[in-house]
A and B are shown apart, each in its own frame.
Chain A
């Protein structure tokens, strides 16, 4: 079944490619992701490895293919190896962070430009969008932010993993991913309509409305609980 996959699988894989990690050549199965190829080559990853599933943005990798000048980037856990791939990882990229007290901000249009004034220097080169491993239209959400359209910027940037590759390419030194994060927080806190049913429920809990029911359940025997559980109403 699932067991003993590793070695067997490696042997089954008859296609191998050459990759270069920090300049050293390794021959690895072509089916591997960059991350697994690093490990296949004997590296134990520390920086540059996180969730291994495309959610944390820790494994930003820069590469080029032999014969081609273009520097490409990707997440090591989500990109397959190619022949003659020259790899290096950039797991830490220093970026400017503005500290703010979210409670003291406002959801108005000027807020983002005030905290991150450099966004107005966007050259419109679109390097940020081209480099995004999530295919987010980064320049578009920065434009929204410049225009004070916080909710649009929040929506457009939603799938951001904060990997920082956008900022690594920006000639205007914009830290796009942090601008997106601020817009999302402002939208979530100030601009999205509030869920009134939550406050109502919190009040009911504070008024001990459910204490009796919960006392009964807490003290119930296993059989009583099973009986209640097996006969509970299930919402369609």
Chain B
């Protein structure tokens, strides 16, 4: 579906102002202006979209309704069908989740000599990692430093981030890039081998490393290949539906569910690492999402029942630029690299209304505000959007830049008859990232002993807002740390006589009943239901 004649007319207004916009940066917002647009237009600030958790370690904390719904769900496991003394797998380290964090955790744990089992709900590698397009940050150039990176991260996160986690993130970053290069990841490089780097929203230095606009896909396919080459045990289509604890209340394994045979299996493990990703597919505030099909907050539910504390769950990231046209790709991610390369947001009158590289929360709020003012564009399917003036990129950097730097984006739109080299794109914020998660320290330990967490399932690193390129980074920084630490811890654990049990889940059910929460929902939900056509 290429642009309709009405949209074509509107595009003329964008074209009319393009020349004069070139070379003239729209002013950045002051700290006060930023706070104002957030307070009035960011979805996190809409009070009635949240409620207090009735149960668990964060009882009384403000969570989105959709998260409360899964937290307050009853366990899906059928208790009487599980004999926890019959062990199907006995391993040192159990990794739950098969994205970038799970793969890197497995590799490091395996390198440390641990017997590793990686279990994943869908296919190994199917995750938000594979969809990350724009890049990965690391302060490895001479004009940059880990301290500068630190300041960008913590400023972007509104100074709420857990300092030790930010420090871990920026300090490990260069070695993560080095590790990836050594595994054979094809980064975009200059002829002399130095990394091609660009800005992302909120960065003070150009430290975004990329692999065209398939950065996450490139990293994931290499990590997956490496895991498979090393014969690490991988079980697909087998989500964890409950953690198992020992008599002392420490994490000691998990119950996995074979989707196809509908059988439960018991995994005994000395340490467990949760890398299940985030909550995008819960569609908070009914937003469409750029997230993977499996992003249903499963790890949060499991860890929460086991007593792990969550953090920053009252903040969700809405990526400023999700596609709002054509209908078939509504909510899909338009990588921030498009803005990084110089494409600017434009309203219905052809005017720029916000600097194009504000942090994601500010940029998204400014777009929502512009549409609320009536300056947005209504798409044929009834969505709102603003233009993202992609043809600016070739004007700024030369013909062919879009083709070379954004092949995935060009292809994505070409499939539906839109040429982003010639015409601007219609965008609106899309649910992109779980800023919060299971609270960890810089060893990736949760508040439950022997339970480690890495990647988007973890919370604290990004505070209340994450910058582009720091998620691909954190899954590897934390994934590697979790794998290494969980393997080391496993060495000191003797679990030969450990009795695995589900008492924590039974207690949780009692608490649910006490709070008067009826058994109307079960969780983790594992697969989102789109058969009613409400969202997709």
List B contacts of A2 (CB < 8 A).
286-288, 383-384, 428
What mask results when residues 201 to 234 of chain A are scored 1 for a CB within 8 Å of chain B, else 0?
A: 1100100001001100110001001101110111
With both chains docked as a complex, state the minimum distance between the C-beta of A33 and any C-beta of chain B, in angstroms. 5
Q: B31 touching A50 by the CB < 8 A rule? A: no
Q: A226 touching B31 by the CB < 8 A rule? A: yes
List B contacts of A235 (CB < 8 A).
143, 199, 204-206
List A contacts of B131 (CB < 8 A).
51, 53, 55-56
List A contacts of B534 (CB < 8 A).
4-7
Q: B531 touching A31 by the CB < 8 A rule? A: no
With both chains docked as a complex, state the minimum distance between the C-beta of B26 and any C-beta of chain A, in angstroms. 14
Closest chain A residue, CB of each to CB of B429? A2
Q: A184 touching B186 by the CB < 8 A rule? A: yes
CB of A44 within 8 Å of the partner chain: yes
One of A33, A56, A188, A226 near B155 (C-beta < 8 A): A226
List A contacts of B217 (CB < 8 A).
55-56, 161
List B contacts of A181 (CB < 8 A).
221-222, 225
Stretch at the interface among A64-72, A137-145, A189-197: A189-197
CB of B448 within 8 Å of the partner chain: no
CB of A99 within 8 Å of the partner chain: yes
Stretch at the interface among A34-42, A123-131, A168-176: A34-42
Task: Given A49-B293, A213-B145, verify A56-B130 contact (CB < 8 Å).
Answer: yes
CB of A198 within 8 Å of the partner chain: yes
Q: Provide the bound-state CA to CA distance between A159 and B288, in Å.
A: 26
CB of B58 within 8 Å of the partner chain: no
List B contacts of A184 (CB < 8 A).
184, 186, 218, 222
With both chains docked as a complex, state the minimum distance between the C-beta of A144 and any C-beta of chain B, in angstroms. 15
Task: Given A2-B428, A9-B381, verify A196-B194 contact (CB < 8 Å).
Answer: yes
List A contacts of B142 (CB < 8 A).
197, 200
Q: B178 touching A58 by the CB < 8 A rule? A: no
Stretch at the interface among B407-415, B472-480, B512-520: B407-415
What mask results when residues 150 to 169 of chain B are scored 1 for a CB within 8 Å of chain A, else 0?
A: 11101100010001100100
One of B186, B226, B327 near A102 (C-beta < 8 A): B226
Find residues 55-81 in chain B having any chain A CB closer than 8 Å to their own CB: none
One of A79, A187, A218 near B186 (C-beta < 8 A): A187
List B contacts of A4 (CB < 8 A).
286, 534
With both chains docked as a complex, state the minimum distance between the C-beta of A18 and any C-beta of chain B, in angstroms. 18
Task: Given A101-B229, A202-B178, verify A185-B222 contact (CB < 8 Å).
Answer: yes
List A contacts of B237 (CB < 8 A).
46-47
Query: Interface residues of B toward A: which range?
Result: 35 or more
CB of B139 within 8 Å of the partner chain: yes
Closest chain A residue, CB of each to CB of B180? A188
Closest chain B residue, CB of each to CB of A160? B221
CB of B397 within 8 Å of the partner chain: no
Q: A39 touching B533 by the CB < 8 A rule? A: yes
Find residues 520-536 in chain B having any chain A CB closer than 8 Å to their own CB: 527, 529-536
Q: B384 touching A233 by the CB < 8 A rule? A: no
CB of B181 within 8 Å of the partner chain: yes
Q: A99 touching B228 by the CB < 8 A rule? A: yes
With both chains docked as a complex, state the minimum distance between the C-beta of A79 and any C-beta of chain B, in angstroms. 8
Closest chain A residue, CB of each to CB of B534? A6
One of A44, A51, A195, A230 near B187 (C-beta < 8 A): A195
With both chains docked as a complex, state the minimum distance between the C-beta of B171 and any C-beta of chain A, in angstroms. 6
Q: Provide the bound-state CA to CA distance between A79 and B411, in Å.
A: 12
List A contacts of B439 (CB < 8 A).
none
Task: Given A33-B328, A53-B290, A198-B178, verify A189-B183 contact (CB < 8 Å).
Answer: yes
CB of A114 within 8 Å of the partner chain: no
Q: Provide the bound-state CA to CA distance between A232 and B203, in Å.
A: 10
Q: Provide the bound-state CA to CA distance between A95 and B205, in Å.
A: 44
Closest chain A residue, CB of each to CB of B295? A51
Q: B192 touching A193 by the CB < 8 A rule? A: yes
CB of A135 within 8 Å of the partner chain: yes
Closest chain A residue, CB of each to CB of B193? A193
Q: A195 touching B195 by the CB < 8 A rule? A: yes
One of B164, B195, B288, B290 near A197 (C-beta < 8 A): B195
Q: Provide the bound-state CA to CA distance between A232 and B333, in Å.
A: 30
Q: A12 touching B163 by the CB < 8 A rule? A: no
List A contacts of B178 (CB < 8 A).
198-199, 202
List B contacts of A97 (CB < 8 A).
228
List A contacts of B382 (CB < 8 A).
5, 8-9, 12
Q: Provide the bound-state CA to CA distance between A207 and B416, in Å.
A: 53
**Which of A33, A51, A79 counts the most chain B CB atoms within 10 A?**
A51
Closest chain B residue, CB of each to CB of A6? B534
List A contacts of B287 (CB < 8 A).
2
Find residues 1-30 in chain A having any chain B CB closer than 8 Å to their own CB: 1-10, 12
One of B174, B195, B381, B533 near A7 (C-beta < 8 A): B533
Q: A197 touching B31 by the CB < 8 A rule? A: no
Find residues 320-354 in chain B having any chain A CB closer than 8 Å to their own CB: 327-330, 332-333
**Which of A134, A154, A192 counts the most chain B CB atoms within 10 A?**
A192
Task: Given A225-B159, A226-B159, verify A54-B412 contact (CB < 8 Å).
Answer: yes
Q: Provide the bound-state CA to CA distance between A53 and B329, in Å.
A: 8
Q: A188 touching B187 by the CB < 8 A rule? A: yes
CB of B126 within 8 Å of the partner chain: yes
Closest chain B residue, CB of each to CB of A7? B533
List B contacts of A213 (CB < 8 A).
145-147
With both chains docked as a complex, state the minimum distance between the C-beta of B326 and any C-beta of chain A, in angstroms. 9
Which 4 pairs between the two chains have the least Cβ-Cβ distance?
A: A193-B193, A185-B184, A229-B155, A6-B534
Residues of A within 8 A of B (CB): 1-10, 12, 31-33, 36, 39-40, 42-47, 49-56, 58, 78-80, 97, 99-102, 134-135, 154, 158-159, 161-162, 181, 184-189, 192-202, 205, 210, 213-214, 217-218, 222, 225-226, 228-230, 232-235
A-B CB contact pairs (8 Å), 23 listed: A1-B371, A2-B286, A5-B382, A7-B532, A12-B381, A45-B293, A51-B131, A56-B123, A99-B231, A162-B221, A185-B183, A188-B183, A194-B181, A195-B194, A197-B194, A198-B195, A201-B139, A210-B146, A222-B159, A225-B159, A228-B151, A235-B205, A235-B206
Given contacts A101-B229, A195-B187, 13 further A-B contacts (CB under 8 A): A1-B371, A2-B286, A5-B381, A5-B382, A56-B125, A78-B412, A102-B184, A181-B225, A214-B170, A217-B150, A217-B151, A218-B167, A228-B151
Residues of B within 8 A of A (CB): 1, 31, 122-123, 125-126, 130-131, 138-143, 145-148, 150-152, 154-155, 159, 163-164, 167, 170-171, 174-175, 177-178, 181-187, 189, 191-195, 199, 204-206, 212, 214, 216-218, 221-222, 225-226, 228-229, 231, 237, 259, 286-288, 290, 292-293, 327-330, 332-333, 371, 381-384, 407-408, 411-412, 415-416, 428, 527, 529-536
